[in-house]
Chain A
């Protein structure tokens, strides 16, 4: 029980820290968003009209008062799920803008992560079982090399090769002709647009699983229970999968939850390059247009998603592996 309480306590404290950091970032930086907006509308060299700036502040709902009262106000808004109005999509609320992009990223990333996990675990387990063989050497070398490539660069190369030169796949956007909805035409359209972003991520994401699984599995293979299983005359397949791989999988379970939580971080650049209508591109857009409320909300969403995934992974790990619970309690 103490294990779970500790993890829950850490979650709450970290959540508070993240929210506070998110509150402080715009406030420690110089520059007033309202002034920047007015400046942009008026042109670079125009005189700043204070009345206009004040009007803009009212329009944007820029908070006033001392830092302390702003903080209280900010926390209150967060609790009500009010993340402010987007500058770029004014007068829409940030939450609404995010809601439209949310599913694009979630579906793309979930599919990629599940596939990567399965592929990575299988390749890693097999490489460890055939340690130092030709298969193992190839997999390890190729993974190490691919791991040093920048995903956005892979994306550009795929756009060039499979998109423009061969013309096999759509290279930007999420759909083209069809209307969004649950119908065959749209699904086909969406899948063909999602193919290249998914392929880009599929080149990079399994690598961590492959190398991680290979290492844990190699460690497990030298344990006594494996020797016992082999001595009992169990078939190789059973020893490899039911004994070694099953135990080596444990650390990967938590890693998987974390990967799902870190969804946004990994896709920002890829989505931007492909102009894919998800959260990552939204963040790239918010950066370019200085849409601060949207940017902050996305940052907060990513952090909270990661924290929740972390908590779930920790709790799950405690259930799956009682040793962890005991040693940390």
Chain B
């Protein structure tokens, strides 16, 4: 009979206990979990990348539904426990759900601390603790506006950077004189403040918030000195408090946290506690590494190993803000018996400080260059005598012993028990052993088997170096990510196999390549549809059901379910007749918004889906065709007026833009393609942040590519220079065709160029005239079937069902 284990809390600590437990004694316990959040277990330390938009919720899941099912765990989510009945040995949730236990784990975590000032309860004041908080911030950030973050610690700064990345104006208010004063010395704190200010985030230190202002919603804050700062959202990130109320009510010994011994048992031997709610040897922890160390001990105890003990953790901190490298560990307070070694390189923005006590490192702060963080941390934890290394210590491990070593040498020199992954406490030896014993060869396998780099991921590079050392040439660093969960193949492999095996339909691909699902998913189907369309332009019939809605109905879906319609204006040129037709359409169909786009076209926003065919018919009648503003295809060619009007213009840039657009419209590409042609280097059409740009000069045409002005802003690179307009068009078509043939679906041109390398592109498109011709020819063939106006087709009746409801009962009801 398995024993009954009940866990209160469904966070990272609890999840880790169960993982360790199932590994040690599978089936020994029948597990019931109560979680207050309505979700499965996710990686809370990755909330910041979710906020900044670098990751999604799916990316930070730790345990999916299948995991709970596989381990036969009863998961009560959204059910906070309100009582532990220690006599009857059962717990009771708010809704009355109860469960009996033999052993109980209290993993209630912590609660964000809210400063009790006037206005703290106003809507618009949020904490930064779980996905609901992130969701609230993202919703507010959609409207731009201003955000105030109270608290200049790790969490507050990550929140500030995330909100800034979402387009808000952000101010950080911090009570202390420098940021992150618990982890950083004032010098590093100053550099950090500068880095934030350089990103346009205002930082006010020594700022004490007096009140939060607003009637029905936050409008701003007032500081002690009377300053008022307006805000649409206020994030409180001033700290966390162990959540002990439940344990306390049950009569367990508590102080700041739930008191546990080295065996992680509370004052009731049948009840363990783990995570941020715990107080151990006088300390409460808010970082993940100690929680995982505790989890191991709880699991070992539950598995019957009574010698397992937790003896406390030394912690290191990293700031998870992209572009800011910061590492801190240990203690760097001033004291008589301590000595500092400091390295400042103002120009490079590098600051390193080691604090030594009796020739041992007791504190380390690294800013701007943190590669040696784990080495210093290792010396610190081991209390290694560094007197021999002292001369070159601050320069890091590469310099120890004289000449700089090659990059893997640093990792090669680490002892087997050196910690590589701080989050999960995985040492080098364990990784090497797992690779050798289990024959692992990819990063994801190593992650699955050892957990190394599976949490915050900042040690991914180190783990890869360990793999290189262990596997040598057998380890190819760039592990292939599968296209989606339906297959193990990556995009490149799928594309190669489609051509090699001449697969010409989606079912054929799925059948021949062993798809794991019956009809794919919303990720692979649009990709396969595109690949087939690109490779077999004359044979493959487009599958509308495998297209995103925008391409299925040839307009952009908006947040309210209406659509926007953009007619083509070749090269940005229009005339009174077209303008009149657009105005007439807007009036006739009550289109609420008419806007000029960044690509020099006119956008009609708020068109009802039923009206789309009629709107298109009217625009078609006036001679206009679809602008493909919805397409993973050629969008616009933006132009300036060139030599015809401009006193600086060197060539007919408008004419060239029109020619390119007329030649290339309708082509499908892996992601959207935007182009621009400028008549001179003044670049009025902003051609140098486009996928393809042309800068006209006196002697000809400079062709640029791989730029972007979207989520990432990238200037273009010069592909080549040509003398004639015809050659310019040939090169651009060949380049686009190469991108069409090599790009992964949804991969913008600049990402493709980064992946395959600019030189390889130049070799095919510029240097090898034969290859260029072939690419050009393939593009031309493809265009024969592509240049069909999708609007006209639908006006003529294609896909009519898309635009009509099947039935309408609203009028009948109104007549009742």
Partners in one complex: no
**Chain A residues engaging chain B, CB cutoff 8 angstroms:** none
**Chain B residues engaging chain A, CB cutoff 8 angstroms:** none
